[in-house]
A and B are shown apart, each in its own frame.
Chain A
Amino acid sequence: MTANAPGQVCLMQGNEAIVRGAVEAGINFAASYPGSPSSQVLGMLGKIARERGFYAEWSTNEVCALQACTGASLANGRALCVVKQNGLLCTADALHCAAQAGVKGGLVIVSSDDPSAHSSTNEFDSRWQAMSAGIPLLEPTTMQEAKDMIPYAFELSEKVGQLVLIRVTTRVCHGRGNVTLGPLPEKPRALERVREWDRMVCVSYMHGPALQKLESLRECFETSPCNHYEGPEAPKKLIIAGGTGRLYGQEALRRLGVDKETGFLSLGTLWPLPESYILKRLRSAEEVLILEEVDPFLERAVQALAGREGLRVKFLGRDNALPAVGELDPDVVTSAICALTGAALPEKKPTGELELPVREMSFCAGCPHRATFYLLKRAMRQEKHPGVVVGDIGCYFMAGQSAGQYAWQTCNCMGSGVNVAEGLGQLTNYGLDQKVVTMCGDSTFFHTILPGLVNATYHNANMLLIVLDNSATAMTGFQPHPGTGLTAMGDHVKPMDIPKILDAVGCKVEVADPFDVVEAEKTLRWMLDQPGMNVLIMRQPCATLMTKERSKKPVRVYVDQDVCIGDGCGCDKYCSRVWGCPGNTWDFKKNKALIDPVTCVGCGVCAKLCPSGAIKVEGGEEA
């Protein structure tokens, strides 16, 4: 990653290519909040930051990250901000203000979108933010481009004094490809003292200059090396592609044998649109297919361009030839190209007859969240009018499914839980006779819960916030957060104490261990009965973290099948079916419960819940 070996070809993951690009750009500053699919970028930057003489941090949230980057830019530093689509939306105000104010040192935002929402709750399209904020937008397709676009974006940023957004998608972040390395700068860009009359201010009269910056970039993009065209000089059928759709499209054209007669325009600079470059091919075209991930961003922009120029072109894209939602793949792109070119759709080879079983996402074996949501469901069912549970974003998002006993009725975005619950909690004074519960993880607590916590406590909402304190940002891969006492650069610092913060805010606080099921349920039910703002900290470290930290399991958990009553009346597979830990499996031959010794991490909670006492814990105390 830090080898100064120009010309060397390396196999790199997209996220690694982004890191290499940042190193080649000689960044001074990097900040991020973890979010799939680009979580690895800052983790890697943090590890090499000292060696390369820059600063890197896991910020408390994306707003902190972007605004810290604008600070670095004011001192002429090159700053890289890495977010996912939701994180970019978190920064919306900061982004729009920064765009109006402009930048001094280059400021590049890498925003990773997740088409089909593989690791997200949604497949929002980051690109609209570039259009909305009026900043340039690039999108790489290959790993090489992912690397090359970073230094290119910094140059553009400094050339016109504006932020640059680079949009990547899951397949770019996680795919692997050859990358030819460029030279490394000797040292990062020189910082400059902020002078008395330096200004980077968001004021309304900067709107015009900001638009001029964008216009001047259009000129650059007309001749940008990021855009390519292959095909006839004046194509009748034209494909315009941005992002991963390009590779699927090129592959399909060759496979269908229609690559010679079809024009293929690949765009790496998506906004502002290189209009003349596009019009050169668009003017002759009768039909145009647009390939892009998620929303019809290019499609709308090119349609507007064609309309303005009075061209009569038939458009194929997300509106008709492609599915309106979800990730592109070679199959859907092939059939869209058949629709464009009239080529016959090749017969698909039949897939195997064996169908994979449908499996829901679930909490890991030994996950403390499973116990918390098991107890929460029991507690809610014990209420005279079952309560309302508001979800939030983290591993515990899965609590909406069987893993968490279908815990919640609503879930919005990170940090929303406490606020949605506050609204409901206030209405309990106006006739809503239900208990109101929400939850957040410890990382989310710092990310966006704090203002909502202050709001709910100050206004004395009747509600319970459960803080699922597992000492980790587990969902995205154990990045440090302010509660962990670690930083992205590996420094040990003083961890923030959540109970102390809560205490200072002034809400009622209790701490329980979700593995101590009897006591934790008592505490939970007691707290549900307390008026005002209550916070219950469910403290038990993440099972995956624990497994990483210890060399062997503390205990052996097994089923005494002579005692187990299996699916008989009185149990009905309580461990594997209701408790649902992946470690609790089923012996189909004997019709009895079984524990998978490989998956089981030895938390021993299922032994406490077994109605027949058939699950035994051997060696040492139960967890």
Chain B
Amino acid sequence: MLSTIALDTQVLRPGLCTGCGACQGLCPYWGSVDGRTVCFFDCERTDGRCQRFCPRMPTDLDALRKQFFPEDTILPEIGPFRGLYLTRAADESIRAKAQHGGSMTALVELALKEGFLDAAVLTRSRGGLNPEGVLATTPEEVRACSGSSFQVPPTLAVLNQALKENKYHSIGVAGTPCKTLAVYKMKANPLPENDNHAGNIGMVFGLFCGWGLDWDGLNALAAKHADPAKVSHMDIPPSKYHSLELREDGETVSVNLDEVTPLVRSGCRYCADMTAEFADLSIGGARSADGWDVDKGWNQIIVRSEKGQQLLDLAREKGVLEFKDAMEGGLEKLKKASLGKKRTAVRNLRELTGRPDDLGYLNPNRELFQDL
């Protein structure tokens, strides 16, 4: 099948696209507008990087995992695992602008300074609305990317362009689970005739993710409750609060989650990865016995690779991150939440395909998912 048609019929039309941008920045055929992946013209190649990189095209996740991570580190619920930590950036100025503890910003900045990376592909949240992918090469540029967004921008288009230019040779990437999966698909060099300098991919930083929101929907919702131009931060506190919080001019506006959930991007309903299992380090909001008011200033980090461990150890050694003891049973809670997302994805995929044994893009690992 022609590549553009394959993605259109198997990913875009069924509503599986996450908007990650893995298919973009490679050629003149794919682009993105307001979070929507757009095919400008048809490509007539039968195979191409767009469909090979796409995290929603069928992938043998198990084989991919074993290619990059030692088998004995892999936990079925949350993927490769070398340790769970509660951390926050030591630098207060990072924390002030951060989503939670600012650990991601601090780690990427450290990785750049220490030569782990020479550039990083990050997402500039722009206060949470209509974020964009950027290629950061200085600590200032990294810091400008503090804070999260609930929209998924096509950040990987920026990565693809940066790899194509071949100017930087160890490019870090931070992204949601769909993006980090795509990055590992890139690293596996699925189209040997054109490797797009995949060897230039450096460390991968994953972000915990529940779901992203439809761009138009979130913009309309934000406009209903605040002045979109003044929104500086967005967050979702633990489930008991049942709300989305918008920060506008320093004031927090609380939006009932019932208004938000219908805006969840269709592609996110089929996502089986909460903790960004393909990454060196995965970072999310902390959950501890101290309660939300404390937790929202901290992160939890899963270390997945040796390189991830090295960077975290260096951050501890250099005092870039502050650590506190993980909550008892924290790992179990994380596993439970992660499993919950996998079950939902499997249920939704069955509904989409109309067949209990057809899990769509997860079919290559059907046996891992169908008995969850």
A→B interface (CB under 8 Å): 377-378, 381-382, 384, 405, 565, 567-572, 574, 577-578, 609, 611
Q: Are B27 and A570 in contact (CB under 8 A)?
A: yes
Chain B residues closer than 8 Å to A381, beta-carbon distance: 38-40
- Shortest beta-carbon distance from A564 to chain B in Å: 14
* B residues in contact with A382, CB < 8 Å: 31, 33, 38
Q: In this assembly, does B227 line the interface, its C-beta being within 8 Å of a C-beta of chain A?
A: no
When the two chains form their complex, are residues A568 and B194 in contact, meaning their CB atoms are under 8 A apart? yes
Contacts of A578 in B (CB 8 A): 28, 41
Contact partner of B44 (CB less than 8 A), chosen from A565, A572, A609, is: A572
Across the interface, B28 reaches (CB within 8 A) one of A377, A384, A611, namely A611
Known A-B contacts A384-B216, A405-B41, A569-B194; A574 and B28 likewise in contact (beta carbons under 8 Å): yes
**In the complex, which residues of chain A have a beta carbon less than 8 angstroms from the beta carbon of B231?**
none
11 A-B Cβ contacts within 8 A?
Answer: A377-B41, A381-B40, A384-B34, A567-B45, A569-B26, A569-B47, A570-B194, A571-B27, A571-B28, A572-B27, A609-B28
Which residues of B in the span 131-187 have a Cβ within 8 Å of any Cβ on A?
164
A-B interface, 4 closest residue pairs, ranked by CB to CB distance from nearest: A382-B33, A569-B48, A570-B27, A572-B43
Give the interface centre of A377, A565, A572 by most chain B CB atoms within 10 Å. A572
Min distance, Cβ B86 to any Cβ of chain A, angstroms: 42
Does more than half of chain B's interface fall in helix, strand or loop, or is it mixed? Answer: loop
Compute how far the CA of A177 lies from the CA of B41 in the bound complex, rounded to whole angstroms. Answer: 49
B49 contacts the other chain (Cβ, under 8 Å)? yes
Contact with A along B4-45 (1 / 0, CB 8 A): 000000000000000000000011110101101011110111
Which one of A384, A569, A574 lies within 8 Å of B193 (CB-CB)? Answer: A569
A609: chain B residues within 8 A (beta carbon): 28
Binding site for A on B (CB under 8 A): 26-29, 31, 33-34, 36, 38-41, 43-45, 47-49, 164, 191, 193-194, 216
A568 and B26 CA atoms in complex are apart in Å by: 11
Residues of B within 8 A of A384 (CB): 34, 36, 216
Q: In the assembled complex, which residues on chain A have CB atoms less than 8 Å from the CB atom of B49? A: 569-570
A565 to B48, CA, bound (A): 14
Please name all residues of chain A whose beta carbon is closer than 8 Å to the beta carbon of B191 when the two chains form the complex: 569
Contact between B41 and A570 (Cβ–Cβ < 8 Å)? Answer: no
A611 to B34, CA, bound (A): 23
Q: How far is the CA of A567 from the CA of B194 in the complex (A)?
A: 12
Q: How far is the CA of A384 from the CA of B220 in the complex (A)?
A: 15
In angstroms, how far is the closest chain A Cβ from the Cβ of B163? 11
- The verdict on A378 contacting B194 (CB below 8 Å), with A569-B45, A570-B27, A571-B27 known, is no
| Nearest neighbor of B3 in chain A, beta-carbon distance | A569
Please name all residues of chain A whose beta carbon is closer than 8 Å to the beta carbon of B194 when the two chains form the complex: 565, 568-570
Give Cα A578 to B40, complex, Å: 10
**Which A residues are in CB contact (< 8 Å) with B48?**
569, 572
Residue of A nearest to B26 (CB): A570
Q: Which residue of the partner chain A has the closest CB to B42?
A: A578
Smallest CB gap from B2: residue in A: A572
Chain A residues in 8 Å Cβ range of B41? 377, 405, 578
Q: B36, B40, B49 — which one has the most chain A CB atoms within 10 A of its CB?
A: B40
Cβ of A609 to closest chain B Cβ, rounded Å: 7
Q: Compute how far the CA of A231 lies from the CA of B82 in the bound complex, rounded to whole angstroms.
A: 105
A577-B44 CB under 8 A given contacts A381-B38, A568-B193, A569-B194: yes
- CB atoms of B40 and A377 under 8 A apart: yes
Which single residue of chain A is at the shortest CB-CB distance from B32? A382
A565–B29 Cα gap in the complex (Å)? Answer: 15
Tell me, rounded to whole Å, the shortest Cβ–Cβ distance linking A423 to chain B.
27
Q: How far is the CA of A342 from the CA of B354 in the complex (A)?
A: 65
Contacts of A577 in B (CB 8 A): 44
Distance of A154 from chain B, by nearest CB (Å): 56
- Which residue of chain B is the closest to A565 with respect to CB atoms? B194
- Across the interface, name the chain B residue whose C-beta is closest to A577: B44
User: Smallest CB–CB gap between A584 and chain B, Å?
Assistant: 14
Q: How far is the CA of A405 from the CA of B40 in the complex (A)?
A: 10
Specify which chain A residues have a CB less than 8 angstroms from the CB of B193 in the assembled complex: 568-569
Give the distance to chain B from A398, nearest Cβ to Cβ, in Å: 17
- Of all chain A residues, the one with the shortest Cβ separation from B50 is A569
Residues on A with C-beta less than 8 A from B39 are 381
A residues in contact with B27, CB < 8 Å: 569-572, 574, 611
A369 to chain B, nearest CB (A): 17
Nearest CB of B to A534, in Å: 20
Residue of B nearest to A574 (CB): B28
Instruction: Give the residue name and chain of the B residue nearest to A525 (CB).
Output: B33
**Residues of chain A within 8 A of B45, CB atoms compared:** 567, 569, 572
Give the distance in Å from the alpha carbon of A567 to the alpha carbon of B46 in the complex.
11
Residue of B nearest to A611 (CB): B28
Q: Is the CB of A378 within 8 A of B40?
A: yes
Chain A residues whose C-beta falls within 8 Å of the C-beta of B28 in the assembled complex: 571, 574, 578, 609, 611
| CA distance in complex: A372, B191 (Å) | 34
For A386, the closest partner residue in chain B by CB is B38
How far apart are A444's CB and chain B's nearest CB, in angstroms?
Answer: 27
Nearest neighbor of B216 in chain A, beta-carbon distance: A384
A574 to B43, CA, bound (A): 8
Q: Collect the chain A residues with CB atoms within 8 Å of residue B34's CB.
A: 384
Instruction: Report the minimum CB–CB distance from B326 to chain A (whole Å).
Output: 44
A577 to B45, CA, bound (A): 12
Residues in B with CB closer than 8 Å to A572 are 27, 29, 43-45, 48
Point out which of A384, A570, A571, A577 has the most chain B C-beta atoms below 10 A from its C-beta. A570
Q: In the complex, what residue of chain B is closest to A610 when comparing beta carbons?
A: B28
B164 cross-chain contacts in A, Cβ below 8 A: 570
Q: How far is the CA of A578 from the CA of B30 in the complex (A)?
A: 13
CB distance from B88 to the nearest CB of A (A): 40
Residue among B33, B39, B191, B193 having the largest count of chain A Cβ atoms under 10 Å = B33
B234: min CB distance to chain A, Å: 23
Give, as a whole number of angstroms, the nearest-CB distance from B162 to chain A.
Answer: 15
Known contacts A384-B36, A565-B194, A569-B26; 15 additional CB pairs below 8 A are A377-B40, A378-B40, A381-B40, A382-B33, A384-B34, A405-B41, A567-B45, A569-B193, A569-B194, A570-B27, A571-B28, A572-B45, A574-B27, A577-B44, A611-B27
Residue of A nearest to B194 (CB): A569
CA distance A617 to B36 in the complex (A): 34
Which B residues touch A565, using CB under 8 A? Answer: 194
Q: How far is the CB of B98 from chain A (nearest CB, A)?
A: 33
CB distance from A517 to the nearest CB of B (A): 11
Chain A, residue nearest B164 (CB): A570
- A611: chain B residues at CB < 8 Å are 27-28
Give complex CA distance A405, B47 in Å. 23
Shortest B130–chain A CB gap in Å is 15
Bound complex: CA A382 to CA B38 (Å) = 6
- B43 CB, min distance to chain A CBs, angstroms: 5
Complex CA gap A422/B194 in Å reads 48
Query: Nearest residue in B to A568 (C-beta to C-beta)?
Result: B194
| In the complex, chain A residues whose CB is within 8 Å of the CB of B44 | 572, 577
A569 to B51: give the CA distance in the assembly, Å. 11
In angstroms, how far is the closest chain A Cβ from the Cβ of B209? 24
Complexed CA–CA distance, A571 and B216 (Å): 31
The chain B residue sitting closest to A578, CB to CB, is B41
Return the chain A residue nearest B31 by Cβ.
Answer: A382
The docked-state distance in angstroms from the alpha carbon of A441 to that of B265 is: 42
State A382–B30 Cα separation when bound (angstroms).
11
Q: How far does the alpha carbon of A405 sit from the alpha carbon of B216 in the complex, in Å?
A: 28
Q: How near does chain A come to B39, taking the closest CB pair, in angstroms?
A: 7
Q: Could you tell me the distance in whole angstroms from the C-beta of B17 to the nearest C-beta in chain A?
A: 14
Chain A nearest CB: distance from B21 CB in Å?
A: 15
In the assembled complex, the CB of B260 is this many whole angstroms from the nearest CB of chain A, namely 20
Q: Determine how close the nearest CB of chain B comes to the CB of A326; give it in whole angstroms.
A: 33
Q: State the CA gap A405–B28 with chains docked (Å).
A: 15
Question: Once the chains are docked, how many angstroms separate the CA of A377 from the CA of B42?
Answer: 12
| CB nearest to B196 among chain A residues | A570
Shortest Cβ gap from B47 to chain A (Å): 7
A405, B39: Cα distance in complex, Å: 13
Q: How far is the CB of B99 from chain A (nearest CB, A)?
A: 29
CA distance A570 to B31 in the complex (A): 13
What is the distance, in angstroms, from A202's C-beta to the closest C-beta of chain B? Answer: 54
Contacts of A378 in B (CB 8 A): 40
